[in-house]
Amino acid sequence: MAQLFFRYGAMNSGKTIEILKVAHNYEEQSKSVIIMTSGLDNRDGVGYVASRIGLKRPAIPVFDETNVLEVVKQTNPDAACVLIDEAQFLKKHHIIELAHIVDELHIPVMTFGLKNDFRNELFEGSKYLLLYADKIEEMKTICWFCRKKAIMNLRFHDGQPVYEGEQVQIGGNEAYYPVCRRHYFFPPEINKVRN
């Protein structure tokens, strides 16, 4: 049975490399996959999933007005799997469309993304994935400052932690750190920890 998966993790928990790995595993068996990512994330140009270790490949960008069910019907309704990166940036309607891909087209959908924003609120896409997904899995990584599990994302601006502001401010890895709860509220000075 096809299922809707949500695999969430803090910054740098290896979400994108996992997508590339899953895609590779399917394609090794001559099964085709559809890879999509948020059109919001322009770090590497719209329409790519790119991991920090240097691997990247094209992906279909999802914009607010994109109907992802129609994208799958039109590009490859026989796909073995649909993979979605940066799923936190999706809208509620996208998540419901993903559920229809699973339930109507019987294609498994694996979504990957952050759960918490830097204010420690849910992203819209993550909220509805938590509500609609069949399977929810945590991808673990450790706190930037200690050995505890990172469960939050801390934003630094000019070396200072930031807890308020617009939810989406994409600027690359330099400003966001995976942190445990204690270090979310009481981070060491960032300049003393890493150059």
Least Å from the CB of residue 187 to Zn ion: 8
* Minimal distance, residue 7 CB to Zn ion, in Å: 22
Q: Please, are residues 137 and 7 in contact by the beta-carbon 8 Å criterion?
A: yes
Of 27, 28, 86, 124, the catalytic one is 86
Which residues have C-beta within 8 Å of that of residue 74, sequence separation ≥ 6? none
* 86 part of the active site: yes
Q: Tokens 């001559």 map to which residue? A: 30
Question: Residues forming the annotated binding site?
Answer: 9-16, 85-88, 143, 146, 180, 183
Q: Which residues are annotated as a binding site for ATP?
A: 9-16, 85-88
**Interface contacts to Zn ion, rule CB under 5 A:** 143, 145-146, 148, 180, 183
Query: Of 94 and 183, which CB lies nearer to Zn ion in the complex structure?
Result: 183
Tell me whether strands 56-58 and 160-162 are parallel, antiparallel or unpaired: unpaired
Asked if 16 contacts 49 with a C-beta cutoff of 8 angstroms, the reply is yes
Q: Which of residues 11 and 84 has its CB atom nearest to Zn ion in the complex?
A: 11
Nearest approach, Cβ of residue 181 and Zn ion (Å): 8
Q: What gap in Å lies between CA 11 and CA 83, rounded to an integer? A: 18
- Asked if 148 and 16 touch (Cβ cutoff 8 Å), the reply is no
Residue nearest Zn ion, CB atom distance:
143
Active-site positions read 86
